[in-house]
Amino acid sequence: MIIQGTLVSSSGTSHSQIRLEGNQIVETGSNLGKADYSFSDDCLVFAGMGDIHIHARDDVGESQIYKEDFCTAAAAAINGGVVHAADMPNNPVPPITDESYHDKLKHLEQRNPAIHFTLYAGIGPGTRPLSFAVPYKAYMGPSVGDLFFRTLEQLDETLSHYRGCNVSFHCEDPILLDEHANAATHEARRPAECEISATRFALQMIEKYELRGKLCHYSVGEGLPLIREARSRGVKVTCEVTPHHLYFDQSDLTDENRGKMQMNPPLRTVSDRKAMLAALRDGTLDYLATDHAPHTLDENEQGISGQPHLDTYGAFVTWLILDQKFTPEQAALFCSENPGDFVNPYVSPKKFGRIEAGYTASLTVLNLRQPVTIKREDMQTKCGWSPFEGITFPGSIEAVFIEGKRVR
């Protein structure tokens, strides 16, 4: 199959062709032959985009599949132009040992969803590394689920067994969270200082145990210099940012929308939001990762934290490009290449993130001239809503190819 259009990578944009054979890209060039699919100049063809922070809610116990499962998460992902995703371990039956991880993997294989999921293993008090390579996730303090640390000493002791591993951190300091537990609003109960203190600690741990570290859903401007300083000393740390922390801030909160707008870490100030946009632009933040955290609207109204975001990933990227003036090359880096580099050690023989021979033939095509208004009925996530309902993004998904097949 030959596809032609404006191909985007972090190093540039070119009008070119791609030849796919089976599930692989075998060649790119300008004279490969007659195209099966030709995309106009209104469209940009990216290596398939990857969301490396999602909650598909599916495990062997199946107690949360009323919110989402691997198949509905995959449908939402394709709707949003996401071709692979990495699933978090805060399940009721968390994958924290060889056995529980294998059980979840087997469950995933039985579901046979339409996109590839990489599974994180959880780190909790007293856990030990698995006997095979996986990405890990450590929740510093309580969020959703029971997999978290009550003290940072406990986390330090546990991490001493994970030397050299790939560990992602949910950065909110459990002791400071406790100190603010009686504040009046969600934002005041989880203030910026919790994330800043946790950032300092995570960076120390990454350095001390020579981890390959990642900070999840980064949201506070004051923490960014700490990350830059650690990197300048060679500490191996990368960072995610979510659509909600780039688009919304506390000035968007009303009495009516508080339930929908609740997540951990919470919405921050206007200046934090602008700092996140600037840090995504300058490369301090590495991944657009949604923290897709589906709950029913009723659950959100009752105070649970998390928003669904897979369905709107690609449309949101067009807002970054057209409204916020990110270059397509920057988007290729934080939507395709960096997420690919993050999961590639765990997904062989698949290889995500670039339009090059030898990579998996998955592509995300955005149309920059076809705006879309986000409507509840167009969402594929099982929880059935979006925080962006009613908002018009300036572009939309034109096509999605998964492993050599056009699926949209």
Ligand X SMILES: NC(=O)N[C@@H](CC(=O)O)C(=O)O
Cα 188 to Cα 403: distance, rounded to the nearest angstrom: 45
Cα 320 to Cα 369: distance, rounded to the nearest angstrom: 14
Q: Which of 170, 186, 214, 292 binds ligand X (CB under 6 A)?
A: 170
Q: Which of 69, 173, 272, 291 binds ligand X (CB under 6 A)?
A: 291
| Binding map of ligand X across residues 62-101, x = CB under 6 A, - = no contact | ----------------------------x-----------
Strands (E), 237-390: 237-241, 287-288, 363-367, 372-373
How many helices (H) and strands (E) the chain has is answered by 13, 19
Binding-site size for ligand X (CB under 6 A) equals: 11
Cα 268 to Cα 265: distance, rounded to the nearest angstrom: 8
Structure tokens at 232: 């300048």
- Shortest separation between residue 67's beta carbon and ligand X, angstroms: 9
- Shortest separation between residue 263's beta carbon and ligand X, angstroms: 4
Cα 92 to Cα 102: distance, rounded to the nearest angstrom: 15
- Shortest separation between residue 169's beta carbon and ligand X, angstroms: 11
- Shortest separation between residue 39's beta carbon and ligand X, angstroms: 35
| Binding map of ligand X across residues 135-164, x = CB under 6 A, - = no contact | --------xx--------------------
Structure tokens at 120: 């994180």
Rg, the chain, Cα only: 20
Nearer to ligand X, 6 or 264 (CB): 264
Q: Which of 52, 176, 263, 289 binds ligand X (CB under 6 A)?
A: 263
Q: Which of 197, 219, 305, 318 binds ligand X (CB under 6 A)?
A: 305
- Smallest Cα–Cα separation from 307: which of 73, 55, 51, 88? 55
* 121, containing H or E segment: strand 121-123
- Shortest separation between residue 15's beta carbon and ligand X, angstroms: 40
Would you say 75 and 378 are in contact if contact means Cβ atoms under 8 Å apart? no
- Smallest Cα–Cα separation from 396: which of 308, 341, 321, 306? 321
Q: Is 244 in the site for ligand X (CB under 6 A)?
A: no
Q: Which of residues 42-61 bind ligand X (CB under 6 A)?
A: 55
Residues whose CB is less than 8 angstroms from the CB of residue 349 and which lie 6 or more positions away in sequence, other chains included: none
- Shortest separation between residue 57's beta carbon and ligand X, angstroms: 8
- Shortest separation between residue 339's beta carbon and ligand X, angstroms: 17
Nearer to ligand X, 19 or 55 (CB): 55
- Smallest Cα–Cα separation from 288: which of 253, 322, 323, 321? 321
Nearer to ligand X, 55 or 350 (CB): 55
Q: Which of 43, 134, 293, 343 binds ligand X (CB under 6 A)?
A: 293
For tokens 């994330």, name the residue: 195
Residues 246-257 as b or e (16 or more Cβ within 10 Å = b): bbbbeeebeeee
Nearer to ligand X, 172 or 403 (CB): 172
Structure tokens at 17: 């062709």
Nearer to ligand X, 238 or 290 (CB): 290
Nearer to ligand X, 203 or 293 (CB): 293
- Shortest separation between residue 146's beta carbon and ligand X, angstroms: 11
- Shortest separation between residue 158's beta carbon and ligand X, angstroms: 18
DSSP string, 203-228: HHHHHHTT-EEEE-S---GGGHHHHH
Strands (E), 150-257: 166-170, 212-215, 237-241
- Shortest separation between residue 51's beta carbon and ligand X, angstroms: 13
For tokens 């589906």, name the residue: 294
Q: Which of 17, 79, 100, 264 binds ligand X (CB under 6 A)?
A: 264
Q: Which of 48, 95, 306, 340 binds ligand X (CB under 6 A)?
A: 306
| Residues lying near ligand X in the complex (CB under 6 A) | 55, 90, 143-144, 170, 263-264, 291, 293, 305-306
